[in-house]
Structure 1
Amino acid sequence: MNHVLCGLAANAALPPELVDQLVEVADAEIAADLARRTDLSHAQAVALASRVEESAAWLAYEGHLTIADIDPAAQPHAALALLCEGVGSPRWARLFAADPVFERREKLAACSSLPSDVVRTLAADADVRVVAELALWTTPGVAARLAGHPHAEVRRAAAANQATPPSLLAALLTGEGLPLALRCRVCDREETPFVHDPHCPHNDCDLLPGDSCDGSHESTLHATRRMALQNPATPTEAVIRFVNHPSVLLRWALASRSDLPSEVYGQLAMDPDPGVRADLAENPAIDEALMRALSADRGHDVQRRLAHNPRVPLDVLTRLARTTKIGTILLPRIAAASCGEVAELAESPEPAARLLVAQRRDLPTAIRDALATDPDAKVVNSIASHPGLSEAQLRAMVARHGVHVIAMVAANPDATPALLEDLTRHEQPPKKMFRAVARHRNATGPALQNCLADKQARPLAANHPALPPHVIAELLTYTDWQVAEAAAANPSLPFAVMSALVPQL
């Protein structure tokens, strides 16, 4: 792969004449970057698709190609892309429905608005993978017919389709009202009884660890039930029967549903598996009493997930913040807090509460400025990237808390060029500070050159338009391909250098 040419192909400042030249020499990797250009002309798109067929699909998805530009026999990927977008020709759909390459028929089966005769052809396809793909995406009427398909893999796909009628989803879940499946993907290829070895030595085997069939297609049946339990269209009265099922995966699938009775949520809160309880804790459908009960649950990840519940009571969240590693993110409950709640949190004697609200980026000026002078370094670190802070305020943060806040100060959108330069010359700067400066729109050439000393910041700095042109040119020969590619994509790369990089035919 020529990483420099790939970077050049993605360069937003590349002139049209050089785009033309790159199209003429493009391989699959260069074409992938060219195809993503927003300024690609129709003529360039047609030429690129003719040269590199793999790029045609992306060009079609992006709207650069039309039906008139595509020959489905020569450019099947592009033709299928347009069919999936609903703008392909019905003639193409009939052509691909009979295509000997099953992957193309499978791709076609995922398309919407297909002619009815094409749907019938796909539903009768000899390859069950094609039929299963159709069952996953098709309309209610076709999904209803495929829910009783003799192959269990097709039924599994129908169980995941939200268009499948609720009564049939219930039947797929419970097994009531449908004839037994005759085959599954396990017994299609192995004599039963068979259990797939988790350490299978065959690289081309697509069976999952533990897939099994003793004649009842049990692993596919289990997967079908799991799909139906996760499907929001499956009736509540059918899914609640599985609250005490021996399979933890099936109980787990229930924990995120929003339509269960409170007593069922209560049963799930006592599930022996902490994963079930953790998913339940984040479910906004549970009531306040259950949230308060789960706040005392020390199971793995239960309290952290409860903190992410958008309806968790504020006092519970504050209490969790003292003892739980929540992470430095804006929690949904804090994002939805009222003006009064925001003021209450900001004035709390608990640093954990102030830390929560400091993640908001729409704070009133008075609250923002008060938190900017907070005695707790974690609170200041959280507020440091808040827009609207002055250079003096940001410098005061660094003076008080040093390396504890410097990276977030560098990420502040209003950090001035002079401040960013000074931060890169700090006595003990953390490495993530260099990455923040290298991404910053206000970074200067000197600041970016200082960032080049850090391995992870180097590609970011190499792509920054404020980097001096002669430095960008030097980085084109850098041994790290990521740096060289980033430099080639830099819009400040001089035209003469760009032109010299493009191979001449």
Structure 2
Amino acid sequence: MQHILCGLAANPALSSALVDRLIAIADDDIATGLARRADLGRAQAVALAERIGASAVRLAYEGRLTAADIDPSVRPDAALALLDQGAGRPEWARLLAVDPVRERREKLAACPGLPSDVVDTLAADPDVRVVAELALWTTPDVAARLAAHPHAEVRRAVAGNEAAPPAVLAALVTGEGLPAARRCLVCDHEETPFVHEPQYPRLDCELPPGASCDGSHESAVHDVREAALRNPATPVEAVVGFVDHPSMLLRRALAARQDLPRPACARLALDPAPGVRADLADNPATDEALIRALAGDRDPEVRRRLAHHLRVPLDVLTHLARSPRIGAALLPRIAASSPAEVRELAESPDPAARMLVAQRRDLPPGIRDRLADDPDAKVVKALAPHPGLTGAQLRAMVDRHGVRVLARVATNPDAPPALLEDLVRHEPTVQKVFREVARHRGATASALLVCLTDERARPVAAGHPALPPPVVAELLADADWQVVEAAAANPSLPPAVMSDLVHQR
């Protein structure tokens, strides 16, 4: 019965009166579905928050509850949700800044527009995690003040704050002009010198592997530098010297920066660590010469990331498309191709090039139809979901290429209902077809009944509004709870059945 009620809570056809009834009997799981309803009224939202306090946070974030609906002493987490959106009241922040629950003070520290006295209270909080959270999100002047905090964890947070003044970020990288940190997370918990081994036997230890402190807080200093190197507001002249640093993590942070001088990028392109080269391949600022150099990289992840670069030349991209692990998604460079480039790719003798452009869903009709007749199954498979293809074209794809394109044809939004019925009865079967047809807006009752015979498609089909109401009602007794919940959420479930189910509780 619980899964039925959870499904009903999400059913868009549930009447307002039955929503009220569900609110009155809701538990946490039912409340989750109710809070997501697009038609939930303000009075219903207030009633749900009073019934299940945990739902108040979601309702506040979704704008269903306002400051007038919340008492911060009763619903502090909902008050924090409104403060996080800038919709709370200043007096709430003052109350929550001294809340005994550390997690609430930490959440408050990340909220925008806090009164200055609240900021001062949080900056002096006895728990370093609260101060660090403030340091990560605060204004430039407060960040500059916290950069000299005695705890390295607070400094690391300042180093990641893009609002921190550039001079402060540079000082955190070099250490110049700042007093040395006196504490770090390692020496807070362990006697120094201490090194956290990668295979540490103590289950209660929260320190990351490799964390160490010999009194100089060396791993914490490393973490501060890494955060600063990843921060685009840190001046490039303060970080470029780390290009040959022994730490692979610092070199990876550099490789992701978009302001590095070209010589530094060229050095990173030869880095022995594949992760560094892969991050450089991802970098939007990587120029064509480096892209061409990286295209021959021996590491498949470097080549995969390079294929997703917006400025990769088309000839390089066609070469990369022949590599495994590139993926079947539309690549940014292909999405940005000009009409002339699209035509060039579609007319290429290389099927890899044609497959790339076939991933677009805005092809001119002439090019779309040309690719629909392509002799290469991979090209046709990429094109099959393209809107505007006729039923005859989709059938021809299946006739020529069979199981290789079946599932993708089933995803086409314009696939005729009769074709969908044929796809689920195709021999040999392709299991993924059942799931695709089960979620297709054009699926008929006949096709959906076949989908119900497949274990993985059954929960999807159970929620399809084209399923006959008597069948939907029968599925409420299914052995699979996912099927039960989907059927209960199906808008085709008869209203009388919905009413009976709600009132049985």
Q: With structure 1 as the length reference, what TM-score do the two structures score?
A: 0.98
1:231 positional shift: 0.7
> Alignment RMSD, CA only?
1.3
Aligned to 1:381: 381
Q: What is the distance in 2 between the residues matched to 1:200 and 1:45?
A: 48
Partner AA of 1:149 in structure 2: H
Deviations 1:351-396 (A, max 9, x none): 1010011001111111100100000011011111100000000001
2:428 maps to 1:432: no
Aligned to 2:98: 98
Partner AA of 1:356 in structure 2: L
Partner AA of 1:136 in structure 2: L
**In structure 2, the residue corresponding to 1:53 is in which secondary structure?**
coil
**In structure 2, the residue corresponding to 1:301 is in which secondary structure?**
helix
2:317 maps to 1:317: yes
Give % identity: 70
Q: What is the distance in 1 between the residues matched to 2:128 and 2:470?
A: 59
Partner AA of 2:267 in structure 1: Q
Aligned to 1:225: 225
Whether the 8 Å CA contact 2:462–2:475 is kept in 1: the answer is yes
1:325 positional shift: 3.4
Aligned to 1:21: 21
2:273 maps to 1:278: no
Partner AA of 1:278 in structure 2: A
Q: What is the distance in 1 between the residues matched to 2:300 and 2:245?
A: 21
Partner AA of 1:478 in structure 2: D
Partner AA of 2:373 in structure 1: T
2:261 maps to 1:261: yes
Equivalent positions of 1:89-488 (< 5 A) are 89-488=89-488
Structure 1, gaps ≥5 residues long: none
**In structure 2, the residue corresponding to 1:502 is in which secondary structure?**
helix
**In structure 1, the residue corresponding to 2:187 is in which secondary structure?**
coil
Whether the 8 Å CA contact 1:136–1:157 is kept in 2: the answer is yes
Partner AA of 1:251 in structure 2: R
Deviations 1:435-456 (A, max 9, x none): 1111110001111111112222
Q: What is the distance in 2 between the residues matched to 1:200 and 1:483?
A: 43
Aligned to 1:39: 39
Q: What is the distance in 1 between the residues matched to 2:104 and 2:448?
A: 48
1:467 positional shift: 0.8
Aligned residues between the structures: 505
Q: What is the distance in 2 between the residues matched to 1:481 and 1:198?
A: 41
Partner AA of 1:329 in structure 2: A
Q: What is the distance in 1 between the residues matched to 2:504 and 2:315?
A: 68
**In structure 2, the residue corresponding to 1:188 is in which secondary structure?**
helix
Partner AA of 2:12 in structure 1: A
1:252 positional shift: 0.6
Equivalent positions of 1:481-496 (< 5 A) are 481-496=481-496
Q: What is the distance in 1 between the residues matched to 2:228 and 2:157?
A: 9
Q: What is the distance in 2 between the residues matched to 1:416 and 1:312?
A: 38
**In structure 1, the residue corresponding to 2:186 is in which secondary structure?**
coil
Deviating 4+ runs (over 6 angstroms): none
1:2 positional shift: 2.1
Q: What is the distance in 1 between the residues matched to 2:190 and 2:281?
A: 42
Whether the 8 Å CA contact 2:300–2:324 is kept in 1: the answer is no
1:167 positional shift: 0.8
Q: What is the distance in 1 between the residues matched to 2:319 and 2:380?
A: 20
Q: What is the distance in 2 between the residues matched to 1:120 and 1:393?
A: 68
Deviations 1:205-229 (A, max 9, x none): 3221222211111222111111111
Q: What is the distance in 2 between the residues matched to 1:7 and 1:453?
A: 21
Call closer, same or farther: CA 1:204–1:495 in 2, change over 3 Å. Answer: farther
Partner AA of 2:10 in structure 1: A
1:299 positional shift: 2.1
Q: What is the distance in 2 between the residues matched to 1:19 and 1:205?
A: 46
Q: What is the distance in 1 between the residues matched to 2:293 and 2:27?
A: 59
More moved, 214-223 vs 35-44: 214-223
Aligned to 1:82: 82
1:350 positional shift: 0.6
